[in-house]
Structure 1
């Protein structure tokens, strides 16, 4: 009888999904809720045109943010500051973009460029501290998140505040002609009737382009080779002539720039202003997506769709009397189980490889992992 290997790329995600459902079901059963009813409601909320479009919109921003995190992770740079980077970028992009009088396409390019530049500059600060003062990247990026929160609160209530609104603090609204267009015409052209209140964001196309570039840069360029080499063995990479300082700074800048870009999905396609109601956890969701997708282009895409589907599906739980926070429990459980399971599978694969190399692996195990 063939033995199942938990190092299999097909078995591991299945184990993660099943275990997560079991744990979430227990969390539902304890207060007396019906797990099957909850999951049925979540699926029905996604399996509509409006739900499907919303999932694509959420997944596109999660994907770009996941790539922003994954680029750092691939070099063992744990950029935990993407949340602050994207918010600082959105603040400045919203403030300047709302004041532009240039033609629409030009304004869009300027606004996105400002966001990416601000995100890169904010991310490169902990990178500089790391290479010059040996400050841990995790500590540096977390502290920058705190600084970002304070600066945003100050600027939003002083220099960047829309003086025409005395009730809420927000930047000036992005002019209608300076917003990213919708893609509803594509769905209409194939006979899909989209509700008037639902718009397919053109940021989906930007996310697809980011995915293609991510794959090409990481696996088809010298920079990608240097990045992967530095992440796997920094000492060996440095000995081979790779400039470690340059790699840290460039990688952090790219990560921050992509974090800033991810925020444009909200600013230019949904909110059209930066304010107190702007989503605050996008950066942390990106970390979850990168971990769940194991930093691969396709894995991050699947993780982004899964996280977006859970978020959209949980929105209708309150209608049947179940707290929608169950969706957050499912997302968190999925992440924890995935990290643990992937680590177990990785260690098992390494053990098998070592045993095979040393000739200690039984012939049956060798055939299974050949």
Structure 2
């Protein structure tokens, strides 16, 4: 374990803070070039932050962003790139929504009904991610390629199943279609916040529990040690007796299971049905949040809150005459700059460690010469 020193803390903060500052500077330049004062954008975001509804929606968004980030981070820890979180959570949300809205489920106690819905979502997500794992360990197919392809397959599969003649029903007076509505017994109640018409997701505690389990498993268990060891050096892990293929399968299954949870806060806490307007693209946001948070449970939580705040303050730009696309630009610049910043910090750390080792060896040699 690396010793925690002021220097190591500063190096750890340098990349994310530097990326945020760089993104802010680029956004300010774009605003100035297009004839908008950067201070107006700051004022618009500050006014939005004063509204309880904006803050509640930001935390709600951060809830599923965080779950997506943890799903991605599990693979990142082992140098596996699970790009398929998006397809995994959407397929899981659809099938679990169809089950939760089925008539026979109303006979179950509320707690059991919710538990079954969540477990099924995890199983579907794990199974879909497991396909990529099997392709990798049996045929050597890159998980990046297979998960991207599986995203496309999941998209068309969801579109095929989400039809009135299959798993969906038509909504009266609307062109929207979706799975049967989950009745009250299958819903997770939210928390009322004064001044906000939106409720805080009740499953925010599920996201927190996932974060704690993620930290515990990776930091305090043999499985976590073997997972990180395999990611650092596969050959060294094999020499230590680690079954790398088994670790690949288990890691992808675990990542997929967490991915299956991504849609649960929205499904059980707000929409109560999987319809055409169900949130999409959350898996890719999870990649950005995991990168910004450095795969650390607390870092990802802060990054998820930041991402949620930016996403939910975009509407305030419209009322101020500022293009809301500025938020998208800022988010994109953050993703690009944070990757570059991490690489620069890594190179600096390597050079600093080399200089430290060289200095220590030089001092040792000097002492030996003096003693002789």
- State whether residues 127 and 248 of structure 1, in contact with CA within 8 Å, keep that contact through their aligned partners in structure 2: yes
Residue 25 of structure 1 is matched in structure 2 by 28
Residue 58 of structure 1 is matched in structure 2 by 61
Change (3 A) 1:213 1:6: closer
Counterpart secondary structure, 2:169? coil
Instruction: Report the Cα distance in structure 2 between the residues aligned to 1:26 and 1:268, rounded to whole angstroms.
Output: 41
Q: Does 1:67 align with 2:66?
A: no
Q: Does 1:137 align with 2:137?
A: no
Counterpart secondary structure, 1:315? helix
Could you report, residue by residue, the CA deviation over 1:72-91 in whole angstroms, capped at 9, with x for unpaired residues? 00000000000000000001
Q: Which sections of structure 1, spanning at least 5 residues, go unmatched? A: 188-192, 364-370
Q: Does 1:106 align with 2:112?
A: yes
- State whether residues 170 and 273 of structure 1, in contact with CA within 8 Å, keep that contact through their aligned partners in structure 2: yes
Judge which range, 33-42 or 228-237, deviates more.
33-42
Could you report, residue by residue, the CA deviation over 1:178-228 in whole angstroms, capped at 9, with x for unpaired residues? 1111122xx5xxxxx243x22011121111111111111000000100100
TM-score (structure 1 length as normaliser):
0.91
| C-alpha displacement of 1:140 | 0.6
Instruction: Report the Cα distance in structure 2 between the residues aligned to 1:243 and 1:29, rounded to whole angstroms.
Output: 55
Change (3 A) 1:337 1:180: same
| C-alpha displacement of 1:351 | 1.7
Counterpart secondary structure, 2:11? coil
Change (3 A) 1:338 1:103: same
Counterpart secondary structure, 1:52? helix
Instruction: Report the Cα distance in structure 2 between the residues aligned to 1:275 and 1:164, rounded to whole angstroms.
Output: 10
| C-alpha displacement of 1:319 | 0.8
Q: Does 1:159 align with 2:162?
A: no
Q: Does 1:237 align with 2:237?
A: yes
Instruction: Report the Cα distance in structure 2 between the residues aligned to 1:12 and 1:242, rounded to whole angstroms.
Output: 32
| C-alpha displacement of 1:48 | 2.6
Judge which range, 51-60 or 255-264, deviates more.
51-60
Instruction: Report the Cα distance in structure 2 between the residues aligned to 1:47 and 1:80, rounded to whole angstroms.
Output: 36
- State whether residues 90 and 115 of structure 1, in contact with CA within 8 Å, keep that contact through their aligned partners in structure 2: yes
Q: Does 1:35 align with 2:41?
A: no
Matches within 5 A, 1:195-234: 195=196, 197-234=197-234
Matches within 5 A, 1:56-95: 56-95=59-98
Q: Does 1:180 align with 2:183?
A: no
| C-alpha displacement of 1:34 | 1.6
Instruction: Report the Cα distance in structure 1 between the residues aligned to 2:346 and 2:361, rounded to whole angstroms.
Output: 17
| C-alpha displacement of 1:328 | 1.1
Instruction: Report the Cα distance in structure 2 between the residues aligned to 1:148 and 1:47, rounded to whole angstroms.
Output: 39
Change (3 A) 1:181 1:248: same
| C-alpha displacement of 1:167 | 2.8
TM-score (structure 2 length as normaliser):
0.90
Q: CA RMSD in A?
A: 2.0
Residue 366 of structure 1 is matched in structure 2 by none
| C-alpha displacement of 1:13 | 3.2
Judge which range, 238-247 or 128-137, deviates more.
238-247
| C-alpha displacement of 1:163 | 4.9
| C-alpha displacement of 1:132 | 0.1
| C-alpha displacement of 1:360 | 8.7
- State whether residues 44 and 313 of structure 1, in contact with CA within 8 Å, keep that contact through their aligned partners in structure 2: no
- State whether residues 188 and 269 of structure 2, in contact with CA within 8 Å, keep that contact through their aligned partners in structure 1: yes
- State whether residues 171 and 178 of structure 2, in contact with CA within 8 Å, keep that contact through their aligned partners in structure 1: no
Counterpart secondary structure, 2:242? coil
| C-alpha displacement of 1:17 | 2.0
